[in-house]
Homo-oligomer: A and B are copies of this chain.
Amino acid sequence: MYCLLKCAPLILAVAVCHGWLFGDFVGKQKELDEISLWPLPQKFQSSAVAFKLSPASFQIVHAKQSSAGPSCSILVNAFRRYFEYMFGDLKKHEKSRKKVYDSDLAELQVWITSADPECDGYPSLQTDESYELSVDEPSAVLKAANVWGALRGLETFSQLVYRDDYGANNINKTDISDFPRFAHRGILLDSSRHFLPLKVILANLEAMAMNKFNVFHWHIVDDPSFPYMSRTFPDLSQKGAYHPFTHVYTPSDVKMVIEFARMRGIRVIPEFDTPGHTQSWGNGIKGLLTPCYSGSSPSGTFGPVNPILNSSYDFMTQFFKEISTVFPDAYIHLGGDEVDFSCWKSNPDIQKFMVQQGFGTDYSKLESFYIQRLLDIVAATKKGYMVWQEVFDNGVKLKADTQIHVWKERPQYQDEMAKVTAAGFNALLSTPWYLNRISYGQDWVNIYKADPQNFTGTDAQKKLVIGGEACLWGEYVDATNLTPRLWPRASAVAERLWSDKSVTDVGNAYKRLVQHRCRMVKRGIPAEPLFVGHCRQEYMGL
């Protein structure tokens, strides 16, 4: 009886370990090095018994008992995608179906157990992403309640396949029972500071699926540009985008992003940040922004959304009505961060309003006044909302299911996480994961070490932490450098949010992550190197 944990140098360090018979490990070291699961599954057992997979005969099929069948496009697409990942570079050379040997693994059966496989649905915060995977002859079986768990299991299965020294595809006898630690595992991309062509967004959705991320937080507009093409207010992008045709997301583009994400079990949560960060909105909507004053006359510049005009709220009502139908997810991110009060302070009408409302000189009360009304407008669309931490910090009255997005470095994010959850709100962490911030060397290590539940609080508080997001703000990234800057650094966040809390060994993570980044490179994602070394297949997609 050997336990995998005894084979400590192996990459397959595991959380669970209860007695399997293993074969000759020593000779298999090399092959096992190639199996680098990322993120590490919750429960994992493997043996050195290896099966061969023939690209010519291996199939991914619906299990007989499965509630999903050939009409389930989300699975059919995934079968094709993972077959390509595993054998894409081989199948061209296969002329005929090979003889099937006894040791072959003939197929992977995908078994959806719920009555509704959710083939045509969208993933949500409540989605069950768990799956069970058993690799044994003659068939491997992947069992999941619905298609979302199956997608995660397919990724894991594809990561188990490795080439031996003769180039043959192998997979070891394996049992996996897996589920995410946190329900919300996101990536924020910012398409306002630089416009991101559709293919950059799609490539990153691909990479997200390889890392079991499930939320694309689309920070779609901001001060510099408004690339979202609104049907209700076409002037927003017509006048607010860097270019009205080449630097916009048309309704069709947005649909494509949402569908591409859905196929990978990824939610798309758009952020329309107000009342600050709205300079680009002002180009298309006259009177929306506060006119700033220089002394007693308007200076010609504009500040945040004008919170004292009914027209502002009328606009928001119509605008968010559109947004709530365009984006199927149950949540919208409403921003609410970094409101600069200087313009409001300069404006005599605002000053008068402050007096009328009894706000004194506390402009955060005015901010809260605006946010409060906005939240009511969005709540009427039946959407839930996410907000940046300032909204909570300023004491705005929030619906119980509001998600507070923690991002500030001061006060310490641990204190903020404690406060937010003590108040009974769901909390999301991003502070340690601002991946736009770069430094020399292996900065993935600190990214990896941060833990969203690492604060002082009760178990009930800890349960209110629904996850986190890696943010790549757009000041210094565009299509030229975004993908290698994000990957594999974001992979460190992916494992933190998926794997068991106890998975913290940096040395072990390094070995797996090196292989995982090579796997991403092989699949066409230009993920940058962690350190000195090479991949069998280097990046050629220049």
Which residues of A from 508 to 542 have beta carbons under 8 Å from B?
521, 526-534, 536, 538-542
Contact between A534 and B195 (Cβ–Cβ < 8 Å)?
A: yes
Point out the residues of chain B lying under 8 angstroms from A479, CB to CB: 526, 538-540, 542
Contact of A534 among B242, B437, B475, B530 (CB under 8 A): B242
A478 interface contact, C-beta 8 A: yes
- A194–B534 Cα distance when bound, in Å, is 6
Point out the residues of chain B lying under 8 angstroms from A440, CB to CB: 436-439, 476
Contact between B441 and A439 (Cβ–Cβ < 8 Å)?
A: no
Contact between A529 and B225 (Cβ–Cβ < 8 Å)?
A: no
Point out the residues of chain B lying under 8 angstroms from A243, CB to CB: 534, 536
A239 interface contact, C-beta 8 A: no
A69 interface contact, C-beta 8 A: no
User: Given A437-B440, A440-B437, A542-B203, do A531 and B480 touch, yes or no (CB 8 Å)?
Assistant: no
Point out the residues of chain B lying under 8 angstroms from A195, CB to CB: 534, 538
Point out the residues of chain B lying under 8 angstroms from A529, CB to CB: 194, 476-478, 480-481
A199 interface contact, C-beta 8 A: yes
A121 interface contact, C-beta 8 A: no
- A478–B527 Cα distance when bound, in Å, is 10
How near does chain B come to A177, taking the closest CB pair, in angstroms? 34
How near does chain B come to A221, taking the closest CB pair, in angstroms? 13
Point out the residues of chain B lying under 8 angstroms from A530, CB to CB: 476
Contact of A475 among B437, B477, B531 (CB under 8 A): B531
* Nearest CB in chain B to that of A478: its residue: B529
- A483–B483 Cα distance when bound, in Å, is 13
A462 interface contact, C-beta 8 A: no
- A200–B224 Cα distance when bound, in Å, is 33
Contact between B528 and A481 (Cβ–Cβ < 8 Å)?
A: yes
How near does chain B come to A307, taking the closest CB pair, in angstroms? 26
User: Given A437-B440, A438-B438, A438-B440, do A484 and B480 touch, yes or no (CB 8 Å)?
Assistant: yes
- A474–B530 Cα distance when bound, in Å, is 11
Which residues of A from 187 to 225 have beta carbons under 8 Å from B?
193-195, 197, 199-200, 203, 224-225
User: Given A440-B437, A475-B531, A534-B243, do A480 and B225 touch, yes or no (CB 8 Å)?
Assistant: no
How near does chain B come to A535, taking the closest CB pair, in angstroms? 8
A405 interface contact, C-beta 8 A: no
A52 interface contact, C-beta 8 A: no
Contact between B481 and A532 (Cβ–Cβ < 8 Å)?
A: no
* Nearest CB in chain B to that of A531: its residue: B475
- A195–B539 Cα distance when bound, in Å, is 11
A485 interface contact, C-beta 8 A: yes
User: Given A439-B438, A439-B440, do A533 and B224 touch, yes or no (CB 8 Å)?
Assistant: yes
Point out the residues of chain B lying under 8 angstroms from A199, CB to CB: 540, 542
Contact between B197 and A531 (Cβ–Cβ < 8 Å)?
A: no
Contact of A224 among B476, B521, B532, B536 (CB under 8 A): B532
Contact between A534 and B247 (Cβ–Cβ < 8 Å)?
A: yes
Contact between B439 and A477 (Cβ–Cβ < 8 Å)?
A: no
Q: Contact flags (1/0) for A432-456 with B, using CB distance below 8 Å? A: 0000111111000000000000000
How near does chain B come to A220, taking the closest CB pair, in angstroms? 15
How near does chain B come to A257, taking the closest CB pair, in angstroms? 16
User: Given A224-B532, A533-B194, A534-B195, do A480 and B526 touch, yes or no (CB 8 Å)?
Assistant: yes
Contact of A532 among B194, B531, B536 (CB under 8 A): B194
User: Given A475-B531, A480-B521, A529-B480, do A542 and B541 touch, yes or no (CB 8 Å)?
Assistant: yes
* Nearest CB in chain B to that of A441: its residue: B476
A247, A436, A441, A529 interface centre (most CB from chain B within 10 Å): A529
Contact between A200 and B439 (Cβ–Cβ < 8 Å)?
A: no
Point out the residues of chain B lying under 8 angstroms from A541, CB to CB: 542
Contact between A481 and B480 (Cβ–Cβ < 8 Å)?
A: no
List 22 interface pairs A-B (beta carbons < 8 Å), by A numbering: A194-B533, A194-B534, A195-B534, A195-B538, A197-B540, A224-B533, A436-B440, A438-B440, A439-B440, A441-B476, A474-B532, A475-B532, A478-B529, A479-B538, A479-B540, A480-B521, A480-B528, A480-B529, A480-B539, A481-B484, A481-B529, A484-B484
**5 cross-chain pairs, A with B, having the tightest CB-CB distances, nearest first:** A481-B484, A480-B526, A481-B528, A242-B534, A479-B539
Q: Which A residues are closer than 8 A to B by beta carbons?
A: 193-195, 197, 199-200, 203, 224-225, 242-243, 246-247, 436-441, 474-481, 483-485, 521, 526-534, 536, 538-542
Given contacts A476-B530, A479-B540, A480-B521, 17 further A-B contacts (CB under 8 A): A194-B534, A195-B538, A197-B540, A199-B540, A203-B542, A224-B533, A242-B534, A246-B538, A247-B534, A437-B440, A439-B439, A439-B440, A478-B528, A479-B542, A481-B481, A484-B484, A541-B542
